[in-house]
A = this chain, B = another copy of it.
Amino acid sequence: MHGELPPGQALTLRGIGREFDVSMTPAREAVRRLVAEGALQLSSSGRVSTPDLGPDRIEELASIRALLEVELASRALPRAHFALIERLQTINTTIVQMVAARDPVGYIRTNLEFHRTLYLRAQAPAMLALAETVWLQLGPTMRDLYGKLNRTEPPQFHRVILAALKAGDEPGLRLAVRSDVTQGLRLLSS
C-alpha cells in the first residue's frame, strides 16, 4: 500500500517466512489474504507478485477512488470540527517535508494518512475499507508514479480540501477530493 515494492515484484512463501522469522504457513495465509484484496497477483502456477497495472486498470481504479472518496469526504464534512482540520494541516506539512526529502514511501504513507484521517469522520467503516482495498492495489503503481515525476511540488489540492472543509462548502469539497484523487493517476495512464 505504501509503495515499498515496485510493480511486478515477485515474492515467495519461503522468502517471506525467512524475512519475518515464521514458517510457510503464516506467510501463506498473509499472501492469500493480500491476493483476495488485490494487493498481490496470483499467477497460474501459484506464484505471487506485485500487480503491474495497465493504463485502463489504473484509470478504473482512479474512478473508483473518486466515487468512494468523494462520498466519504461528503459524509465527513458535517462532523469535521476545527480539531480535525488542524490535524489535517499538520499532516499536510509532513507531506511537504516528505516531498522535500524525496521519500516516495513516506510521501505515499502520509498522503494516505491525510485521506484516512478525514474519512474516519464519515462513520462509514465498510466504505473506508473498500477505499483502502483500492489503495492496496495502487501501492506499487503509486511508487512508480512519484518516482517518475520527482518534482518538489506539494499536493496542491490538499489546500483546496482544507479550505472547503473550513467553509463547509460541500460541492467544493467533492470537486477538490475528486481532483486530488484523479490528478496524479491520470499522468500514469496517458
The chain A residues found within 8 Å of chain B, CB to CB, are 25, 28-29, 32-33, 35-38, 57, 60-61, 63-64, 67-68, 71, 124-127, 129-130, 133-134, 137
Contacts and interface: CB of A to CB of B under 8 A. Distances in A.
A32 B60 CA distance: 27
A138 B37 CA distance: 18
Contacts of A126: 38, 57, 60-61, 64, 134, 137
Contacts of A33: 32-33, 35-36
A137 B133 CA distance: 15
Nearest to A66: B71
Nearest to A71: B67
Contact of A32 (B29, B64, B129): B29
The CB with the most chain B CB atoms within 10 A, among A25, A33, A57, is that of A33
18 contacts: A28-B29, A29-B32, A32-B32, A32-B33, A32-B36, A33-B35, A33-B36, A36-B36, A36-B37, A37-B37, A38-B129, A57-B125, A57-B126, A60-B125, A60-B127, A67-B68, A130-B133, A133-B133
